[in-house]
Copies of this chain bind each other. A is one copy, B any other.
Amino acid sequence: MTKLEFLNVVEKRNHITEHLSTRGFRLTPQRQRVYDVLVQKRDHPTADEVFVRAKKQMPEISHATVYNCLDALVKCGLVRQVQLDRGATRFCPNMHEHCHFYCDECEGIFDVDLPADETFGVQLPKNFKPARFEIAVHGICGECAKRKSNSLNR
């Protein structure tokens, strides 16, 4: 590891520690590992998929710990929970303002950026105070749309 890489690792660790400490959580090897798993492959894995990936470098990690770690990361604002229709909850380390696009064809999940502090034209009843907007778009992704129109035109 070069000096630069080393400093990078330290900085990332500080970033996680800071967030965790806002909610009274400590940085543990398990929490670090779970967070790394999410950052390394941003395909919105389920808790169980995170568990399998985390186990590769940390074979003794338990199922419950992965749930606990994900919970802590969500609570301290490092990770977002994503809910597809039924099925398991998925997790996403992208904390920019964004929503999710679900492709009905390939079942892929795509992040789509959103403007910050927007109410998206939703007219709430009197006195209702919104805290956050969750938007999920269902449809056909770019790749699948192309593939479908090709097979139609043949």
Contact of A120 among B83, B121, B128, B142 (CB under 8 A): B121
A9-17, A33-41, A53-61, A129-137 - interface stretch: A129-137
Copies of this chain assembled into the complex? 2
Contact of A131 among B110, B112, B139 (CB under 8 A): B139
B134→A135 contact, CB < 8 A: yes
Residues of B contacting A134 with CB < 8 Å?
A: 135-138
A140→B131 contact, CB < 8 A: yes
A85 vs B145: C-alpha distance when bound (angstroms) = 30
Q: Which range contains the number of A residues in contact with the other chain? A: 35 or more
- Given that A112-B122, A114-B122, A137-B122 are contacting pairs, would A145 and B130 also be in contact in the complex, using a CB cutoff of 8 Å? no
Q: Is A118 an interface residue (CB 8 A)?
A: yes
A130 vs B52: C-alpha distance when bound (angstroms) = 32
Interface string of A96-140 (1 = CB under 8 A from B): 000101001000001011110010111111111111111111111
- Given that A133-B135, A134-B136, A135-B120 are contacting pairs, would A128 and B101 also be in contact in the complex, using a CB cutoff of 8 Å? yes
- Given that A81-B85, A133-B135, A137-B133 are contacting pairs, would A126 and B112 also be in contact in the complex, using a CB cutoff of 8 Å? no
B121→A132 contact, CB < 8 A: no
Residues of B contacting A138 with CB < 8 Å?
A: 130-134
A115→B110 contact, CB < 8 A: no
- Min C-beta distance of A11 to chain B, whole Å: 31
A84 vs B86: C-alpha distance when bound (angstroms) = 10
